Amino acid sequence: MIRNTEDPENDVKTAQKVLNHLIETGVPNYYGWQRFGKERSNTHVVGEYLVHNDVKGAVDAYIGNPYPKEREHIKEARRLYDEGKLEDSYQTMPGSMRYEKMLLRELLNLQRRKGELTEKSYIIAIESLPKPLKRMFVHAYQSYLFNKAVSERAKLGLTKYVEGDILIDNEEHLVHEFDVETVEDRIKSFEIHPTSPLYGTKVPLAGGVVGKLEQQVIDEENIKLEEFECPKTPRLGSHGLRRAMRFKIWDVSAELTPEGVLTEFSIPKGCYATAVLREIMKEDVY
């Protein structure tokens, strides 16, 4: 449901037109905000520190660094951490912030036993988090970079084959052999798809102009693929993989209701509805 539009009668027509277009081209396969956080979109920032092998920076980014939209008592707890007042931060941090408190508790225990915090202290602290959460950090950073790569590749055309593209089929198998004269027909029929990289130590980059765009993304971030090994936290590193840079959409409709523009559509498992709404609304969707 898209609410509070400026011109509902025209907006429902626009929504239907966009949906019809997306049936033909597919939808850019962006990861949605759920991957990064809403009020505090920094999961990928923590991952970036880990990829740069800065574990203290990762812990600092997770516990401290208050965001403007956070509640005041949470911002205060984060400020206390940034000021080095770990005990005060722990006492001020609400119980709902259980993972921040988990990290703080580990750091305080290490500080009491060792007298000071070292790099190893921060490694022990972050390794104390539940496995799904701590692995999400680097995965979120990969997703952030993937979105940037998709944005650049999409400018060349969602249904176009560009020399150097790495293709996959609907079972996510790499397509090594294809006829260049018929490859675009196979892309347009959603039989195969151009891909973008979830960057990692072993992910292959595309060739030609596409490869240059993919390399540019990590150059701008000042990282190299081998850094995804995360030597200080190797269990959090990633080999990476290729992922389709668009996805198919079907069963689409747009209807004007008293509450707003009701859109309906079907998408594959693992894709984000927010990516569709983003194309309709031409803005990020939360």
- Residue tagged 């594959």 (tokens): 268
CATH of the domain at 29: 3.30.2350.20
Residues 154 and 76 in one domain: no
Residues 167 and 153 in one domain: yes
Note whether residue 3 is domain-resident. Answer: no
Name beta bridge partners: 194: 167
Residues 149 and 266 in one domain: yes
Note whether residue 1 is domain-resident. Answer: no
Q: What is the CA radius of gyration of the chain?
A: 22
Low-confidence ranges of the chain (pLDDT < 50): 285-286
Reading the block at residue 245, the tokens are 């840079």
Total structural domains in the chain? 2
Residues 186 and 240 in one domain: yes
Q: Is the pTM higher than 0.85?
A: yes
Residues 212 and 87 in one domain: no
Distance CA 122, CA 111 (A): 11
State the DSSP string of 208-259. Answer: HHHHHHHHHHHHHTT--GGGGG-TTSGGG----EEEESEE--EEEEEEEETT
Q: What is the pLDDT of residue 284?
A: 62
Half-sphere exposure for 157 (CA within 13 Å, toward CB): 9
Residues 230 and 276 in one domain: yes
CATH of the domain at 115: 1.10.1510.30
Residues 163 and 252 in one domain: yes
Note whether residue 50 is domain-resident. Answer: yes
Residues 77 and 205 in one domain: no
Residues 161 and 217 in one domain: yes
Residues 71 and 119 in one domain: yes
Q: Please say which residue of 98, 117, 133 terminates a domain.
A: 133
Q: What is the pLDDT of residue 5?
A: 83
| Structural domain that includes position 76 | 43-133
Residues 202 and 277 in one domain: yes
Q: Please say which residue of 100, 133, 166 terminates a domain.
A: 133
Residues 169 and 276 in one domain: yes
